[in-house]
Amino acid sequence: MIGVLASGTGTNLQALLDAQLPVVAVASNRRDAPALERAGAIPSAAFELADYGDRAARDAAMAEWLHTQGVRLVVLAGYTHLLTPAFLDRFPNAVVNVHPSLLPRFPGAHAVEEQLKAGVRESGATVHLVDEGVDSGPVLAQERIEVRADDTAETLHERIKEIEHRLLPRVVEELCAR
Ligand code: GRF
């Protein structure tokens, strides 16, 4: 039973849905996240920081809601906030994230731009377990692609996302089978 957290466009959420994985809940830190619209009939909810006293209170409420929906595995699919122990302790070793670089290189929110700036020849996508750090948990799977001389942040991110949309459902399916 999978819960997905997403803050943006939600193409990775869509890939999980297309793979017919058992997504039972979708949550976001943004009420206006386009990802929430992809949930369709699946229960969805927004947990905006401004509605809570602090991050721990918001994360506790979000974890509680996901538990209520029966979630056992949480997938971060473009979720932009760090998770506090108030959340992570409710789902031990059961939170995964997808990131657009070959971690541990280029963690953080601007990974694609930073890779181009650094002039790397190779990029890719990583799926990893989530801890309190910035994209710092143990790596579960990676796939590489070549960076082209004429790549822009948009074209490179687009090709990385094509990898993510294959890699993330595969890893999540393996975790569900455990
Ligand atoms: C993806 O590139 C993911 O790796 C990163 O945020 C992006 C989310 O895209 N963490 P989307 O919202 O799934 O389209």
Give the mutation target among 11, 12, 80, 135 for probing the ligand 1 site: most ligand atoms within 8 A of CB: 12
Identified catalytic residue from 99, 128, 157, 165: 99
pLDDT of residue 178: 82
pLDDT of residue 129: 98
**Which residue's CA is the nearest one to ligand 1's atom 5?**
78
Q: From ligand 1's centre to the CA of 32, what distance in Å?
A: 16
99 is catalytic: yes
pLDDT of residue 94: 97
pLDDT of residue 168: 98
| C-alpha angle 133-138-143 in degrees, rounded to nearest 5 | 115
pLDDT of residue 81: 94
Residue from 163, 153, 158 nearest 124 by CA: 163
How many whole angstroms separate alpha carbon 126 and alpha carbon 121? Answer: 17
Residue from 94, 67, 73, 63 nearest 21 by CA: 73
Q: From ligand 1's centre to the CA of 42, what distance in Å?
A: 20
Residue from 45, 153, 141, 36 nearest 98 by CA: 141
Q: From ligand 1's centre to the CA of 10, what distance in Å?
A: 7
Q: Is the CB of 98 under 6 A from ligand 1?
A: yes
Q: What is the pLDDT along the chain (178 residues), one digit of tens a residue?
A: 999 999 999 999 999 999 999 999 999 999 999 999 999 999 999 999 999 999 999 999 999 999 999 999 999 999 999 999 999 999 999 999 999 999 999 999 999 999 999 999 999 999 999 999 999 999 999 999 999 999 999 999 999 999 999 999 999 999 999 8
pLDDT of residue 164: 98
